[in-house]
Amino acid sequence: MTLPWLVLLGSALALLVPMPAFYSRKHSYRDLHQLEIERRNGSRWGMVKQLLRFSGHWIDLARGLLGSIGVLMTIDQLATISPLYARHAAWADSVVPLTLATLCVMLIAFFFHYPGKCLAPIPFVAGTLLVLVPPSVAFLALLLGLFFAAKLRALSLFFILVAPALALLGFFLDRLLWPSLAGAVLAATPIVLAFFRHRDLVIPVRRPRSS
């Protein structure tokens, strides 16, 4: 019984610790308009490399995926041991890890110190949703958000569109209330916090060597 609790603790910490809030000041932070200007002045591939070569994106995606999987596995195991867990496992499977992820996103917003900016934790949110929300719902909602955010060059559109898309697609495609609503709350949290704090959303990129 000790091992499941250790896995649960490690997975919960992976979801909760706001690592992006403590990125080095040596990194660059851009909104999509700035990236588009850099693309016009340089090359599309150079702009894409700045995004893909930033290791923090991949770490955040991995911890969203693995942390969510770890919490799900341990909740399922504990449900076979304890009647209390078995009684609540149906909603706890999605709500507990999504609540941890939402708290993480809130901590990122409050601890990220950059004048007038809020970090857009897209990889972390995407990794968490891909595990905890039904795949058909998560993929469609994320694709919708990414497409329009890139098309209209506004990071805020990703979160504005993904949140209601999760709720609506979850209801119409899977008829599952808890995962979709909890996922919608997670997706809406970054844009709500940025709005009330009057800050623009930015993403970290690898600084070009020439700078």
pLDDT band for 89, please (50, 70, 90 cuts): low
Number of domains in the chain: 1
Domain of 67, in residue numbers: 2-205
- Cα–Cα distance, 211 to 47 (Å, whole number): 14
Is 210 contained in some domain? Answer: no
Is 79 contained in some domain? Answer: yes
Count Cα neighbours of 12 within 13 Å in the Cβ-side half-sphere: 13
pTM of the model as a whole: 0.88
* SS3 (DSSP) at 166: helix
Which residues fall within 8 angstroms of residue 79, CB to CB, at 6 or more apart? 85, 86, 89
Is 211 contained in some domain? Answer: no
Over residues 65-91, mean pLDDT: 74
Over residues 171-196, mean pLDDT: 85
Over residues 152-166, mean pLDDT: 92
Is 133 contained in some domain? Answer: yes
pLDDT band for 211, please (50, 70, 90 cuts): very low
pLDDT band for 90, please (50, 70, 90 cuts): low
Predicted pLDDT of residue 82: 62
- Cα–Cα distance, 118 to 21 (Å, whole number): 10
Predicted pLDDT of residue 181: 85
Contact predicate 120/195, CB 8 Å? no
Over residues 96-118, mean pLDDT: 90
Is 15 contained in some domain? Answer: yes
For residue 86, pLDDT beyond 80 = no
For residue 48, pLDDT beyond 80 = no
**98-101 LR contacts (CB < 8 Å, sep 24+):** 98/128, 98/132, 98/179, 98/182, 98/183, 98/185, 98/186, 99/182, 100/12, 100/15, 100/16, 100/67, 100/71, 101/15, 101/64, 101/67, 101/68, 101/125, 101/128, 101/132, 101/186
- Structure tokens of 20? 């992006």
Is 33 contained in some domain? Answer: yes
Annotate 171-209 with b (16+ C-beta within 10 A) or e (fewer).
Answer: eeeeeeebbbbbbbbbbbbbbebbeeeebbbbbbbbeee
DSSP 170: I
Predicted pLDDT of residue 180: 83
**Average pLDDT over all residues of the chain:** 84
**Paired residues of 205 in beta bridges:** 28
Predicted pLDDT of residue 114: 83
pLDDT digits (tens, 9 = 90+) for 29-47: 888 887 877 677 766 676 7
- Structure tokens of 83? 């009647």
Cα 38 to its chain centre, rounded Å, is 25
pLDDT band for 64, please (50, 70, 90 cuts): very high
pLDDT digits (tens, 9 = 90+) for 141-157: 999 999 999 888 889 99
- Cα–Cα distance, 196 to 70 (Å, whole number): 33
Largest CA distance in the chain: 62
